Amino acid sequence: MTKPIQILLQTTIPFTEDDWHISRFSLLRDYLTELKDETGNPLFAVTGRDRVPDSEGNDPVLSSLDQSDFDQIWLFGVDCGDGITPKEGEAIARFRKQGKGILTAQDHQDLGLSFNNLGETCQEVKKGNFFHTQNPDPDSSRCSIDDIYSENICWPNYHSGANGDCQPVEVVEPIHPILLNPHSPSGKVELFPAHPHEGGVGIPTCAHNGRVIALGKSLVTKRPFNLIVAFEACQDEEGHPIGRAIAESSFHHFADYNWNPSYGCPSFVEEPSSPKIQQNPELLDDIKTYIRNVAIWLAPGSH
């Protein structure tokens, strides 16, 4: 029997009922858990958790991630700076230095800001996540408000649509394998869950192994923005394998609320949601195909 790929779904905050805790990503967890290989065995073993800081403020799982059996970590940046600690960031970097995979998903303004504490072998991922108060987009023209409707939220905040709706995906050529969907008319991923204020990601100057693979488009300014950045596996100067990585503009691509608003959201979410995906669940086919592709692509054995 083939051992399932071990995936850690991890938020950057301790459990807080009225926030984006890990239980708000239950549909993602369930979908990954249900996937089987051609012989009927589970493809993935999925663990979902929030931060549990110890007396020194470090999460014991994250701060020893390189000693774990996990093959990849999906980090949902739902903090505003008080998430991943430097000790945890170094362990995550050592984890990637074992050839293991990382996905980061942030959101508007400074959500996910603690990604700035990722360690040395995650430098291009760290610097490819753009925020408001630290590491802003090097294109200064993008340091401006896009979503004009949520007045309490500042840039980066690209408006791709209402929560519960979907947005068209512009796939950048050449098509990256994680964006292939043989069941769609075009043979590629065409739709993603939408969000009123997505964050900013891109290719930093220090990255020689990454590229933007998909774009979204603002419904307000009609301006395209980077939806997904993919970083290929490589080696460091000492020949150690550096695992693959993905930087996503929003964790809302994976949240229950964006797949089905009836699952609810924190009370601070004020924007009206859309029933479109809930009424047409087949609209999730693309994001589910993408998720399966990502989970396989990030696994060390797939390099």
pLDDT at 303 over 70: no
Helix axes 26-34, 285-297, angle to 10 degrees: 70
Superfamily of domain 5-302: Class I glutamine amidotransferase (GATase) domain (3.40.50.880)
Which two three-digit tokens encode residue 203?
């290719």
In whole angstroms, what is the distance from residue 219 CA to residue 246 CA?
24
Q: 241-299 pLDDT, tens per residue? A: 899 999 999 999 999 999 999 999 999 999 999 999 999 999 999 999 999 999 999 99
* Residue pair 70/96 in contact by the 8 Å Cβ criterion: no
* Share above pLDDT 70 across residues of the chain, in percent, rounded to a whole number: 99
Closest C-alpha to 244, from 221, 213, 210: 210
Which two three-digit tokens encode residue 108?
């508007």
Backbone phi and psi for residue 179, each to the nearest 5 degrees, phi listed first:
-105, 10
pLDDT for the residue numbered 238? 82
Q: Which 8-state DSSP code applies to residue 207?
A: -
pLDDT at 1 over 60: no
Which two three-digit tokens encode residue 208?
């020689």
Closest C-alpha to 196, from 142, 250, 277, 135: 250
Rounded mean pLDDT, 135-143: 97
- Alpha helices, DSSP H, located in 243-284: 256-259, 276-279
Q: 28-69 pLDDT, tens per residue? A: 999 999 999 999 999 999 999 999 999 999 999 999 999 999
pLDDT for the residue numbered 184? 94
* Residue pair 201/130 in contact by the 8 Å Cβ criterion: yes
* Residue pair 54/87 in contact by the 8 Å Cβ criterion: no
Closest C-alpha to 191, from 285, 279, 257: 285
Which two three-digit tokens encode residue 269?
């979410």
